[in-house]
Structure 1
């Protein structure tokens, strides 16, 4: 089964020049904890509620700080034509619970989460990915920003 069959296609994005307050309000309204960051139809980063809290507030930045100042610029993504099994392996390896999905022209077409993939009946593989994701530390540790 391909990622395009499991992903969410309605994706809200933030822009690098928006304030972190606006991004947080969008997350609140949508009941989500992460937004892709796009500029001129290209994915340039990701911002999470944790980025706002740790790289923003904890670092002394105010609500008017820009998304670009706290986002993760090293964007991990998957392609919409990849196999679900391969993406589950990748989620565990890079220790993230969700990935933006792009087409082969690298245009954002969706987002896929571990829970989206678990609903595809790949529960054993989703469980294995979660075990890897839950390992302490790793590339996305906020303690080393």
Structure 2
């Protein structure tokens, strides 16, 4: 049985909740990623995605230079720990339809890495097909409105 520490990416860039949305978008462009962990010091406090920027900031007419990451980030973030089994985390990702999960220290909740579908596809010995199918299935939920 593989555990998350065997497949996760350890060198992860994060952004502060005090940084601007513009800086988050620039960093996503530089790193060629669609999301960034948001950390207050070493502690994970949220995630910001390109979708958060588009829907919660740009579509709302907010200025990217003056809007803070903390104002548009997602604070309800699913996380995992290095000692969790790959199968358990893959199932949770499929159930929640998410493509990447921050890996945090169990005691301090500090960011130690991230695990993504790509990590599973390239480093996991078992099948990822079922999780990929669940994650990629269209969501049946209603669209939430942002106030």
Shift of 1:30: 0.7
Distance 1:62 1:128 in 2: 40
> Deviation string for 1:55-113 (max 9, x for gaps)?
11011111121101110011110001101011100100111000000122222110000
1:108 counterpart = 2:111 = yes
Mapped contact 1:34–1:48 kept (Cα < 8 A): yes
State how far apart, in whole Å, the 1-side matches of 2:8 and 2:140 are.
Answer: 25
Q: Give the aligned partner of residue 3 of structure 2.
A: 2
Q: Which runs of 5 or more residues in structure 2 are unaligned?
A: none
Q: Which runs of 5+ in 1 are unaligned?
A: none
Supply the distance in 2 between the matched residues of 1:51 and 1:127 (Cα, whole angstroms). 27
Q: Is the 8 A contact 1:95 1:138 kept in 2?
A: no
Residue 94 of structure 1 corresponds to which residue in structure 2?
96
3-state secondary structure, aligned to 1:38: strand
Question: Which residue of structure 1 aligns with residue 125 of structure 2?
Answer: 121
Q: How many residues align?
A: 141
TM-score (norm 2): 0.90
Matches within 5 A, 1:133-144: 133-137=135-139, 143-144=143-144
Instruction: Give the TM-score, by structure 1 length.
Output: 0.91
RMSD over aligned Cα atoms: 1.5
Contact 1:81 1:103 in 2 (8 A): no
